[in-house]
Structure 1
Amino acid sequence: MTKKIITIVFIVVFSMMLWVFVSLSGEYFYSMRLPITFSGIPQDYAVSNYSEKEVLISLKGQGWQLAQITFGSQPEFVVNVRGNPGEHKIAIRNALDQNRWLSASVQINEFSPEEIQYRIEAVDSKKVPIIPDIEFKFRDGFGLVSDVRVEPDSIVVRGPKSVVKEITEIITVKRSYTNLDNTVVENISLATLNNLQVDEELVKINFDVQKIVDKEFQDVLVEVKNIPPSKNLTLFPDRINVILRGGINLLGKLDKDEIRASVTFNQALKDTLGYLIPHVTIPDFTTFIDTKPNRLEYIIHQQ
């Protein structure tokens, strides 16, 4: 019984191999879209403003020959640049011999475009900031309590002088986060920029996410500003409680001296209601909710 099964399996495998061999012995047409790469670039120079990024080539040949070209490889169309700095163009037909992966036994039926225009120019470099491209969605009751920090925060870009001149920043690939409820530390890639090289392809981002709560800070002194030399302004009361909303750990470490409350003498001069509302300055990543009291009585008097 076992020998019979082995015989059947052998026959099936042999039949499949024979079918593949016969099939690939026929002639086929195959079209390839190939990225263009430039070789032979003079030292300290780069290629820019090339008219095409890809070449479309239609091939004709036996299946085996086409399979050797396409299977397990990612061929590129190589263009060997020649000439001095400036504008140039080359016919695709003249660049075919530079691509040795094209077998002589494979027929090239057609290609597009017929020519490529490009510029050779000096290389330049400069340092630019890295900008994270991030979207946030938080779990209910949680929120962002820090800047999005990027390490490194800037990077040196190199490339054709005309291209480098226009670059003001490098952006990361877009990253979306959902249901956030904790600190995030992650490596993300920089967005691809044509004709430019960078020292690093990955950067580290990190930002803090905490549960959002309210906290009351008591006895915050209200400062009176811009008092004339001969005048004085007395507040009742001169201290207030300030209610802030923010991350639970952030508010837990926050000191009341980091909160500023103030009124100006000019407010009192222009007042028609009999009370002043203090202006409150709060730390980053906190939200002002209320003060107790939110109205202050006052007296203006001579010194």
Structure 2
Amino acid sequence: MIRIKKSLQKRKVKIFLIFLFFSSMSWFINKLSEDYTGRAVFDVLYTNVPDSLLFVGASKDHIDVKLKASGFTFLGFGFKNKTVTIDVAKAQQEEGTYFVPRSGYQLQIEKQLPQSMEFMGVDEDDAIVLEIYSLKTKKIPVTQRLKVDYSQNFMLEGEIVIQPDSILIQGPEAMLDTIMGIQTEEKTINNITEDFKEELQLQIPENNSTIKYASTSIFVSGKVVRFSEKIIEVPITVTNTPEDFEIKLFPDTVKIVCSAKIDDLKTLHESNFKVIADCSTIQDNAQNGILLQLVSAPEMIKDVRLMSNEVRYILKRK
């Protein structure tokens, strides 16, 4: 009998708890169906920045918004990432300052809210001030830093070619005025026996994101040819001989070592060179020696040098 009474009491408690649960749920659902006024903080994302402008930041990173909606809407809204976008292209400008007035960003926020929510406004009275700069464009030269180690008997023909040899940069005018050029990375290539083309990365400063670079790398190329050496004997031309004097050189020719392409060496002649002995350079204490100067040589010669830089002389009065 006692066991039966205890079983009935437990059953009544369970039935009571079930009714209590459903009653509470009914009350909770009724409350959620009612409209409430509340607040939500939205993170602000600035978009649609014109290409002619540089956006750095703004006076507001988030906005406190007053809303009206049902409890169900607020409950679901609380689990979402609350972000609104502000169109920078719709900003106004006054005395060089860009801003979005309160009415402007309120309208943009309202359009982004779900239809189940009523926008009640924002507490802030001030406009959103944008840190924006007009962008200018400037062309700066590129300095390449490729070191080429040619194999024996090989050399560069002509000049090293940089493509492009200058690039466009874009940014605030005050910053552009401080940039005169840009260098490439350092790189070495060894034992080169043929034409080469290397890509070099530009050394773009990492701490200056306000400057935009049209390119991040350039190409360096060169034509490589085989060369040889040839010795040519050239007569020495005397200049500035003192009046009433004559000079005799010993010897009156000098040998020149030329490095160039084999085909170019075949065309060389002594008339392609000019070596002078300038008497005005003779010092009073000179020991019968006069310095030689190579004053002209063909441009196609890669390297040229005199085998002797001085000759003996005798100066006699006429």
Q: TM-score, normalised by structure 2?
A: 0.50
1:145 is displaced (CA, Å) by 4.9
In structure 2, what is the Cα distance between the partners aligned to 1:41 and 1:169?
Answer: 28
2:146 matched to which residue of 1?
Answer: 134
Q: Against the structure 1 CA distance between its residues 236 and 119, is the aligned structure 2 distance closer, same or farther, given a 3 Å change threshold?
A: farther
1:123 matched to which residue of 2?
Answer: 135
1:264 is displaced (CA, Å) by 1.6
The answer to whether residue 177 in structure 2 is matched with residue 165 in structure 1 is yes
1:145, 1:246 within 8 Å by CA — same for their partners in 2?
no
Q: Against the structure 1 CA distance between its residues 252 and 131, is the aligned structure 2 distance closer, same or farther, given a 3 Å change threshold?
A: farther
The answer to whether residue 161 in structure 2 is matched with residue 153 in structure 1 is no
1:145, 1:250 within 8 Å by CA — same for their partners in 2?
no
1:132 is displaced (CA, Å) by 1.4
The answer to whether residue 254 in structure 2 is matched with residue 240 in structure 1 is yes
Identity %: 17
Q: Against the structure 1 CA distance between its residues 157 and 79, is the aligned structure 2 distance closer, same or farther, given a 3 Å change threshold?
A: farther
2:279, 2:290 within 8 Å by CA — same for their partners in 1?
no
- Aligned pair partner of 2:196 in 184, 207, 210: 184
How many residue pairs align between the two structures?
211
- Aligned pair partner of 2:276 in 262, 266, 276: 262
Paired AA for residue 157 in structure 1: I
1:189, 1:202 within 8 Å by CA — same for their partners in 2?
yes
CA RMSD of aligned residues (A): 4.4
2:255 match: secondary structure = strand
In structure 2, what is the Cα distance between the partners aligned to 1:87 and 1:226?
Answer: 74
Paired AA for residue 216 in structure 1: I
Paired AA for residue 242 in structure 1: I
- Aligned pair partner of 2:291 in 277, 296, 300: 277
Q: TM-score, normalised by structure 1?
A: 0.52
Deviations 1:185-242 (A, max 9, x none): 45555444644445556644222334453221232x4233444555554434433220
Q: Against the structure 1 CA distance between its residues 125 and 296, is the aligned structure 2 distance closer, same or farther, given a 3 Å change threshold?
A: same
Q: Against the structure 1 CA distance between its residues 258 and 43, is the aligned structure 2 distance closer, same or farther, given a 3 Å change threshold?
A: same
Q: Against the structure 1 CA distance between its residues 87 and 192, is the aligned structure 2 distance closer, same or farther, given a 3 Å change threshold?
A: farther
In structure 1, what is the Cα distance between the partners aligned to 2:266 and 2:87?
Answer: 64
1:167 is displaced (CA, Å) by 1.6
Q: Against the structure 1 CA distance between its residues 40 and 250, is the aligned structure 2 distance closer, same or farther, given a 3 Å change threshold?
A: farther
1:234, 1:298 within 8 Å by CA — same for their partners in 2?
yes
Paired AA for residue 177 in structure 1: I
The answer to whether residue 237 in structure 2 is matched with residue 223 in structure 1 is yes
Paired AA for residue 150 in structure 2: F
In structure 2, what is the Cα distance between the partners aligned to 1:252 and 1:87?
Answer: 72
Larger radius of gyration: 2
1:162 match: secondary structure = helix
1:213 matched to which residue of 2?
Answer: 228
In structure 2, what is the Cα distance between the partners aligned to 1:138 and 1:224?
Answer: 38
1:41 match: secondary structure = coil
Paired AA for residue 53 in structure 2: Y
In structure 2, what is the Cα distance between the partners aligned to 1:79 and 1:224?
Answer: 83
1:210, 1:248 within 8 Å by CA — same for their partners in 2?
no
1:146, 1:285 within 8 Å by CA — same for their partners in 2?
no
Unpaired runs of 5+ residues, structure 1, are 1-36, 51-77, 89-96, 98-117
The answer to whether residue 49 in structure 2 is matched with residue 41 in structure 1 is yes
In structure 1, what is the Cα distance between the partners aligned to 2:301 and 2:145?
Answer: 20
2:177 match: secondary structure = helix
